[in-house]
Structure 1
Amino acid sequence: MNGIKKTNGYNFLPHDFLTLFYVIIIIFIVLTHYNSLSFAYMHIFTHLLGVAFIFLIAKYDRNKNKLITLIHYFYPILFFTFIYQETGRLNQLFYDGYFDKLLLYWDTKLFGKSPIYWFYELIPQRIISEYFHFSYAFYYLMVPLTFVYIYKRKKDNVLHYMFTLCFSFYIYYLIFIFFPAVGGRTFADIYAREGYLFKKIVDYIYLTQEIDGGAFPSSHVGIALVCLLNLKRVGGYFYKIMLILVPSLALATVYCGYHYGVDMITGWISGYILYKISSFLYVRYFSN
């Protein structure tokens, strides 16, 4: 299959190289700020475990055991949440505070005032709020569902998907470390408060999983676009569904009060740019 690099008995996949490179960057950041970071040794230890895991699975993945091969393809998706949460522990190493005042200023310049203030007031209906919360919550299923769909429909495209996905996620995580912003979550208790099941689900996710600092650009929007562009390569019914859900998700980031307008806009732009760059790199270096 395109993308497999056999090196000294190891079958590395394209996203293995991206993940190893990101781990090296994080270890370097931790080592150079060792005394400023609580439990710095745990960061290093867990990332070294990650390196060991990648080498082990690259060593034993021979495309003979379907389960091992599937894990090799899929494993970054299992780790994204933990890596994301780690950015919340690293994002005060380079800047003390958050850039929300600047983002609110940009929102004001672009829209007169942040869309968070007026979006919900324009369409406050509870059923509309529930739909946008559903769209927002769907993000957390979008990445693995896209993997499953591409894997089942056109398996040769799954490594391209994983490469573009990892490339985009890791760039976003580095931005969150060096340019932390909380986003519009301070408005979430005021705007889009009504809803039903999916409002409660999103509230629970933010209570238990979200960190301060990972708002700009909106990786929800950027990654959703990366998923959509990968699905466009294989077509089918899920791509058509995503043509509706991805724009809804983008609007939901602002409607639900979790992102500023500039977060959403830069999410669209960055997602497209990251997809194009990563696709070019994949074709240039990994497509046989």
Structure 2
Amino acid sequence: MKSKSVKARLLSPIDVITLAFTAWIMVYMAVGYKRVEGFGFHFACYLSIFVGVILSAYLERIWVGREGWFYSVFRFLRGLYPVLLFTYFYTSNHSFNRVLITTWQDPLFMEADRALFGYLPSLEWGVKYNHWLISELFHFAYFCYYPMIVGLPVYLWFKDRKAFEELIFVLTFSFYVFYFIYSLLPTIGGRYLDEALIRTKIYRAGPFTRIMAFIYNYSRHWGGAFPSSHLGITVVLTVAALSHPRTRKMGYVFAVISFIMTFSIAYCHYHWFVDSLAGIAVGIGSFYLGRWVYNKMLENR
């Protein structure tokens, strides 16, 4: 009974799922290491994260009650650290996402889009409706993901610590669901086609179109398209904001952004349209499943 209590105090729910996720990726890479690009580097990174989570949990335990700016920053980072890892987890996925399935599966999703529309929205929409205001609207919606993913957690950190902790867990859980799918299902999205890839890197229209072109000119990520985590996580943030009285008005704004983003991911040439439909479904499902898992884990602590 005592060991269970110590374990409960040492590892937070976020620690547990982060350790589980990093352990899965390390085992997956080790099994298929011959097909992993930069195996040594990425295995070392995931192992370092695994060890770092345990070490930081131990330090938090022995530093309980200590005051001062250093300990305040440490506790803040302990609560928010998965957000700092999401970018690496996403960009590293291309190194091992063809271990099980060795070829990109985009032709399947291209055919799904053709079955729905008779053409490929990721090639047609951004070219046919290319007025700079339309381009700015859709690229703005796509860009909003970045401030949203930081802004809502930080706001709740200052306003409602319990809601913050639940949000970070659900957000992290949802990301890991998407990343787990990506590790098994290699897809690129619209950039699979050279015509779309080129257009994502052209500096044109207004500031948000140019900001996204800058990001895609320098981003190293390749893969992780189906389902769209960009839209899925935006949906998670939207549902989370709508679920909390303090952030409900923010949630209404997020809902509008999510609606526009449903179409922008294809308009901006980043995804197949079916990626958005799957992203919405997985986003909603992972939010409610994540919240259920979180409550169960709290009950067992």
Taking structure 1 as the reference length, what is the TM-score of the superposition?
0.90
Q: Residue 34 of structure 1 aligns with which residue?
A: 33
Q: Residue 21 of structure 1 aligns with which residue?
A: 20
Instruction: Check the 8 A contact 2:175/2:233 in 1, yes or no.
Output: yes
Identity among equivalent pairs (%): 26
- Give matches, 1:73-92, under 5 Å: 73-92=79-98
Deviation track 1:183-214 (CA, whole Å, cap 9, x = no partner) reads 11232545896421111111121122242221
Tell me the distance in 1 between the aligned counterparts of 2:220 and 2:254: 24
Label 1:31 to 1:120 Cα distance change in 2 as closer, same or farther (>3 A).
closer
In the alignment, structure 1 residue 200 sits paired with structure 2 residue 210: yes
Instruction: Check the 8 A contact 1:9/1:59 in 2, yes or no.
Output: no
Tell me the distance in 2 between the aligned counterparts of 1:147 and 1:77: 9
Instruction: Check the 8 A contact 2:94/2:222 in 1, yes or no.
Output: yes
Higher share in helix: 2
3-state SS of paired residue (1:259): coil
Q: Residue 47 of structure 1 aligns with which residue?
A: 46
Instruction: Check the 8 A contact 1:224/1:246 in 2, yes or no.
Output: yes
Instruction: Check the 8 A contact 2:201/2:214 in 1, yes or no.
Output: no
Instruction: Check the 8 A contact 2:201/2:217 in 1, yes or no.
Output: no
Deviation at 1:83, TM superposition (A): 0.9
Q: Residue 220 of structure 1 aligns with which residue?
A: 230
Label 1:228 to 1:196 Cα distance change in 2 as closer, same or farther (>3 A).
same
3-state SS of paired residue (1:7): helix
Label 1:9 to 1:92 Cα distance change in 2 as closer, same or farther (>3 A).
closer
In the alignment, structure 1 residue 175 sits paired with structure 2 residue 187: no
Tell me the distance in 1 between the aligned counterparts of 2:175 and 2:152: 15
Q: Residue 280 of structure 2 aligns with which residue?
A: 268
Deviation at 1:221, TM superposition (A): 0.7
Q: Residue 170 of structure 2 aligns with which residue?
A: 164
Tell me the distance in 1 between the aligned counterparts of 2:37 and 2:26: 14
Label 1:207 to 1:120 Cα distance change in 2 as closer, same or farther (>3 A).
closer
Tell me the distance in 2 between the aligned counterparts of 1:8 and 1:134: 44
**Which of 136, 148, 155 is the equivalent residue of 1:149?**
155
Counterpart AA for 1:54 = V
Q: Residue 130 of structure 1 aligns with which residue?
A: 136
Counterpart AA for 1:85 = T
Tell me the distance in 1 between the aligned counterparts of 2:201 and 2:98: 30
**Which of 271, 278, 298 is the equivalent residue of 1:259?**
271
Q: Which has the higher contact order (CA 8 A, sep 6+)?
A: 1
Q: Residue 277 of structure 1 aligns with which residue?
A: 289
Deviation at 1:63, TM superposition (A): 5.8
Instruction: Check the 8 A contact 1:192/1:255 in 2, yes or no.
Output: no
Q: Which stretch of structure 1 is more off in the superposition, 176-185 or 14-23?
A: 176-185
Q: Which stretch of structure 1 is more off in the superposition, 58-67 or 68-77?
A: 58-67
Aligned length: 284
